[in-house]
Amino acid sequence: MTPERLARINQTLDNRQPDLTICLEAVHKTHNLSAIVRTADAVGVHDVHAVLVQGYQRMSSGTALGSQNWVNVHMHSNIEEAVSQMKAQKMQVLATHLSSKAVDFREIDYTKPTAILMGQEKFGITPEALELADHHIVIPMVGMVQSLNVSVAGATILYEAQRQRQLAGMYGQNKLSAAERHKILFEGGHPIYAEACKRKGLAYPPLDEEGQLVASDEWWEKMRMSDKAWKALQAKNAE
């Protein structure tokens, strides 16, 4: 890993906001999911949640431009499961929905732990999700159309959250656990070794201050083994 790449990854991780997230309920167009993940990465969101629609939602790598490698995307089978996880992290849950109790999205305090619910492209957020939300928010519109594309709406809200958090000095400080930070640094700085570790079930070794591996001779010996030799060794040890 070059010094420049190490500095870039560290700067990115120092700006991550683990207590700010977005949850997509039944969003079925892959380019929308990918675009929101790309925006999430841009504003420092570390985790994105999505409720499944008829199976696994696959992102479009062309739209996400690799951001899915830096943002954790968590899939859920239902909205109750997703919201329960967010509320367990003490997050206020916001639902984008025009209702009698909805407020302008800019009136919300996004410096608090926050989860933003975005609904399906055609029908919006389900009644079940609306019941689980703490607040309903709207993006004021004065034109003929009544709604924005889900990825545009998500970006609009996320950048307001970023603006408030920047003013509050919430960027530029590490909020990730040591284990999570090491995992991202290793996978981002040494992708080939990371993939080999996953195949062989090896733990990621420590990194020094320059981002270089600090590994034992035993680890290096296992790393140099071919996959065929490794499987043979594992089979022998299992006997």
Residues of each annotated binding site for S-adenosyl-L-methionine: 96, 139, 148
* Residue pair 194/187 in contact by the 8 Å Cβ criterion: yes
Round to whole Å and give the CA distance between 123 and 128: 13
* Residue pair 35/149 in contact by the 8 Å Cβ criterion: no
Q: Residue type for 239, please? A: E
Residue 51: name the closest of 32, 31, 85, 23 by CA: 23
Residue 110 DSSP symbol: T
Q: Return the number of other C-beta atoms located less than 10 Å from residue 38's C-beta.
A: 20
Which residues in the chain belong to E strands, given as ranges? 17-25, 45-51, 72-76, 92-96, 103-104, 114-118, 135-138
Round to whole Å and give the CA distance between 131 and 21: 19
Give Cβ neighbours of residue 182 (< 8 Å, ≥ 6 apart).
204, 206, 207
